[in-house]
Amino acid sequence: MKKLWEKQENALTSAVEAFTVGQDRIWDLHLAPFDVLGSIAHVTMLSEAGLLPESDAQILVQGLREIHAEILAGTFTLEEGVEDVHSQVELLLTRRFGDAGKKIHMARSRNDQVLVDLRLFLRDEILKTVQSTGRLFDLLQEQSERYQDRLMPGYTHLQLAMPSSFGLWFGAYAESLVDDLVTLRGAFDVVDRNPLGSAAGFGSSFPINRSRTTELLGFSGLSYNVVYAQMGRGKSERITAMALANLADTLARLSMDACLFLNQNFDFIGFPAELTTGSSIMPHKKNPDVFELIRSRCNRLKALPNEILMMTTNLPSGYHRDLQILKEHLFPAFNELQSCMDMAVLMLSRIEVKPDLLDDSKYRYLFSVEEVNRRVLAGMTFRDAYREVGQEIEEGRFEARPEQLKHTHEGSMGRLCTGEVRNRMLSVIEGFPGKKVADALQALVQSNPQRQA
């Protein structure tokens, strides 16, 4: 089948075609609904600018809405020999509406078409990731409050340090997710800029209205400079990957803790048998396979920003085919991360936290700092109290354990500040304009798009 860019009937060598297309046809199906939405906005703008007859625009928009419905129903496919989703959509419109379908590509290039598709896709996936993160955050906070008073050993250098609590442990990972979403919001802000109208990277001599497509697609603003709009490809993927890697790092670290804590030498937590796996020869085994796989998969996600960075190293300005390969690395990352979050929610919702851990004699030195502080409050200098308690430990005479731990400052085990952390998370989530985006895109497929007041 003739390509959009072919000017003569000279067939592309099959080996070259197979190599250059690669897996793009697979990943293009992820972009299909967004390609149609971008085209609806583009056609609407062309008509309003007087570049496309209103009669043509009406039938094209209706045709695009029908294709969008086919995509959502799962009946849309890329036909054999069709190079990409952009070609398939134009082919369907031309078959159904003749010459009107051939007009859809005026004033744009596949370069800015795939750019806008990518940004719409990334924006959508980021918003889904925010929802998944919110569910995990809510559970961590719930468990933090539930186990606020359940004490556990705290470690530095993997050596006994000071008393901690499961309230602190769960709450620490909840607050970590807040900062992770701050970085994801930064990625969203980069992605949420409209590149459509930059054409091949040098603009168009057609008098198009880029602000109008920005409004129709629910973007917060334009990528103004047309050269930079093209340079933004690769950069926006890398920034998004870095934000995903931050979330992955939080999950990987939590998973490592869970693997340690389930170990019999720690024995801090347990899980129902149906959430763990066994051994083919050791009948006593209850393995934390879920957390091990979360750890491994998230560690792989942490490598993603560097993969993208290396694939885009030393590229001059303008479009290059290298950028095509980024999709097969980045696109699966969203499902991978969300799957890990879903499994973490399942596991942590069924966790069993062991009581009275610190009654074990091996934790008796865990309270040395508490005793130093008690003596300081009684009038001794800190250095003298430290030396005195240290001497008792060296001589095996230290047995002090307070009847009650009194930690009252903000963020301590006695004052978790769960509400303050929740308010901060809500503030971050509210910064994602999910409703505005959804309303804008819904308007494109349901009714004649209207200018916003």
**Amino acid letter, residue 227:** V
Q: Can you tell me which residue has the tokens 């996600």?
A: 301
Tokens of 425: 């998370």
Task: Give pLDDT tens digits for 354-397.
Answer: 999 999 999 999 999 999 999 999 999 999 999 999 999 999 99
Asked if 160 and 153 count as a contact pair (C-beta separation under 8 A), the reply is yes
At 450 the pLDDT is 53
- The whole-number average pLDDT for the span 255-276 is 96
Q: Is 99 exposed, middle or buried (0-12, 13-18, 19+ CB in 10 A)?
A: exposed
Per the model's pLDDT, the better-predicted residue between 14 and 93 turns out to be: 93
Please choose, from the candidates 279, 299, 303, the residue with its C-alpha nearest in 3D space to the C-alpha of residue 289.
279
Over the range 192-219, which residues count as b (16 or more CB within 10 Å of their CB) and which as e? bbbbbbbbebebbeeebebebbbbbbbb
Q: What angle do CA 215, 219, 222 make, to 5 degrees?
A: 90
- The whole-number average pLDDT for the span 76-102 is 93
- Residue 25 pLDDT grade (very low, low, confident, very high; cuts 50, 70, 90): confident
Mean pLDDT value across the chain: 93
- H/E element, 434: helix 434-446
- Residue 83 pLDDT grade (very low, low, confident, very high; cuts 50, 70, 90): confident
- Residue 447 pLDDT grade (very low, low, confident, very high; cuts 50, 70, 90): low
Task: Give pLDDT tens digits for 166-223.
Answer: 999 999 999 999 999 999 999 999 999 999 999 999 999 999 999 999 999 999 999 9
Q: Is 171 exposed, middle or buried (0-12, 13-18, 19+ CB in 10 A)?
A: buried
Tokens of 313: 């190293």
Other Cβ atoms within 10 Å of 143 Cβ, number: 21
At 82 the pLDDT is 87
What's the predicted TM-score (pTM) here?
Answer: 0.91
Tokens of 66: 């029908």
Could you tell me whether strands 151-156 and 159-165 are parallel, antiparallel, or unpaired per DSSP bridges? antiparallel
Task: Give pLDDT tens digits for 291-312.
Answer: 999 999 999 999 999 999 999 9
- The whole-number average pLDDT for the span 414-439 is 96
Residue 11 pLDDT > 70: no
Over the range 350-372, which residues count as b (16 or more CB within 10 Å of their CB) and which as e? ebebeeebbeeeebbbbbbebbb
The percentage of the chain sitting over the pLDDT mark of 70, rounded to a whole number, equals: 96
- Residue 18 pLDDT grade (very low, low, confident, very high; cuts 50, 70, 90): confident
**Residues composing the chain:** 453
Could you tell me whether strands 352-353 and 221-222 are parallel, antiparallel, or unpaired per DSSP bridges? unpaired
At 5 the pLDDT is 45
- The whole-number average pLDDT for the span 50-54 is 97
- CA dist 190 and 307 (Å) reads 19
Task: Give pLDDT tens digits for 98-140.
Answer: 999 999 999 999 999 999 999 999 999 999 999 999 999 999 9
- Residue 346 pLDDT grade (very low, low, confident, very high; cuts 50, 70, 90): very high
Backbone angles phi, psi at 164, to 5 degrees: -130, -170
- The whole-number average pLDDT for the span 21-45 is 90
- H/E element, 269: strand 269-270
> In the chain, where does the domain assigned CATH 1.10.275.10 lie?
14-102
At 452 the pLDDT is 47
Half-sphere exposure of 122 (CA within 13 A, CB side): 32
CATH class, range 110-153+165-358+416-439: mainly alpha
Other Cβ atoms within 10 Å of 1 Cβ, number: 11
14-102: CATH homologous superfamily?
A: Fumarase/aspartase (N-terminal domain) (1.10.275.10)
At 9 the pLDDT is 56
- Residue 448 pLDDT grade (very low, low, confident, very high; cuts 50, 70, 90): low
At 228 the pLDDT is 95
Task: Give pLDDT tens digits for 325-344.
Answer: 999 999 999 999 999 999 99
Following DSSP, what letter does each residue of 137-202 receive, concatenated? HHHHHHHHHHTTT-EEEEEETTEEEEEEEHHHHHHHHHHHHHHHHHHHHHHHHHHSEE-TT-TTTT
**Amino acid letter, residue 88:** Q
At 7 the pLDDT is 52
